[in-house]
Amino acid sequence: MEYRQLGESDVKASAITFGAWAIGGWMWGGTERKDAVEAIRVSYEQGVTSIDTAAVYGQGLSEEIVGEALQGIPRDKVQIMTKFGMRWDLAKGDFAFKSKDNDGKPLDIYKYAGKESIIKECEDSLRRLKTDYIDLYQQHWPDVTTPISETMEALAELVKSGKVRAVGVSNYDKAQMIEAEKTVKLASNQVPYSMVRRDIEKELVPYCIEHKKAILAYSPLQRGVLTGKIKEGYTFNEGDNRGESKYFTGVNLERINAFLDGLRPLAADKGVSLAQLVIRWTLEQPGITIALVGARDARQAIQNAAAIRLKLSAGEIAEINRRLEGVKID
């Protein structure tokens, strides 16, 4: 495994980090707790020492599973990353969207990052994670109802108290990062990035490179479509909202699969899966520090971790990028 520093903080994380959104079940059609716990433990055995979760994933369930899975593993050997600021239990802040919980009951989600709320969320996360500190604490989404300075002041206090080692943000743009930096030193920004979603390359990546901020790329497999396993007519489980995404329907899905078919010979020559090829490509892109990849069971966890052993030449990366230029997403 490769380990990379998060910005200028003292936190180092595994280049392939376990993304724990799916194991919370929410928006992914449920989860099997036993399989999820095993996936995390097997990931650790494969060198994946970092886990990224969030309070809102399964409304606390993902954090609870992570906390359970890490019992018995020395705390200083793993890096726990979690996120705050998406409240399902408080009708306050910036209304985000209507959803359903894991039992199918209606759920309203709010983006809220007021100071008192953050302190409470941190305590709740520490309890669910069964730990006394968080390695990287990240604001999940910007909250337009709360000044960024107030949010960052709360995070600075958590760092001072020893409950948080490093501060990060998620889904921030360049201007928001600049504003946050007036109050606290950011280690990272977690943003969506994949072969078919590369908009951050224009402004955010250059800024993060120049200012030594780590980029944690989430959904590098574009929620699974870049595995090449999703074909037209694919049936998603109840509660799995991926079928509503533009990447999974119509001409976009056709274009993506045509592109992936063109990569199959390279993957076969390397003896790897398409998913492993995509993960390694992601980690080779300028400015990308970490690739967050989920796994529902031990088999997927082992396959994800193995992607780090793949070597891609500059010429092979250039050829992949050339092919990507022809993939248009409407």
Among 44, 57, 172, 247, the active-site one is 57
pLDDT tens, residue by residue, 127-161: 999 999 999 999 999 999 999 999 999 999 999 99
pLDDT tens, residue by residue, 79-90: 999 999 999 999
Residues of the chain where predicted confidence (pLDDT) is lower than 50:
28
Q: What is the pLDDT, as a whole number, of residue 23?
A: 81
Q: What is the pLDDT, as a whole number, of residue 247?
A: 87
| Lookup: tokens for 40 | 């995390």
Q: What is the dihedral of CA 16, 21, 24, 29, to 10 degrees?
A: -110
Establish whether 247 is a catalytic residue. Answer: no
User: Are 308 and 284 in contact, with CB atoms under 8 Å apart?
Assistant: no
Q: Which amino acid is at 264?
A: R
User: Are 151 and 113 in contact, with CB atoms under 8 Å apart?
Assistant: yes
User: Are 111 and 93 in contact, with CB atoms under 8 Å apart?
Assistant: yes
> Domains in the chain, start-ordered, CATH in brackets?
3-227+274-311 (3.20.20.100)
Q: Give CA separation, 158 vs 52, 106, 118, 185, 214, in Å.
A: 19, 33, 9, 13, 20
Transcribe 166-186 into DSSP letters.
EEEEES--HHHHHHHTTTS--
Q: What is the 3-state secondary structure (H, E, C) of 95-155?
A: EEEEEECCCCCEEEEEECCCHHHHHHHHHHHHHHHCCCCEEEEEECCCCCCCCHHHHHHHH
Q: What is the pLDDT, as a whole number, of residue 250?
A: 82
| Single pTM value for the model | 0.94
The C-alpha atoms of residue 140 and residue 116 are separated, in whole angstroms, by: 16
pLDDT tens, residue by residue, 227-257: 988 887 676 676 666 767 788 888 999 999 9
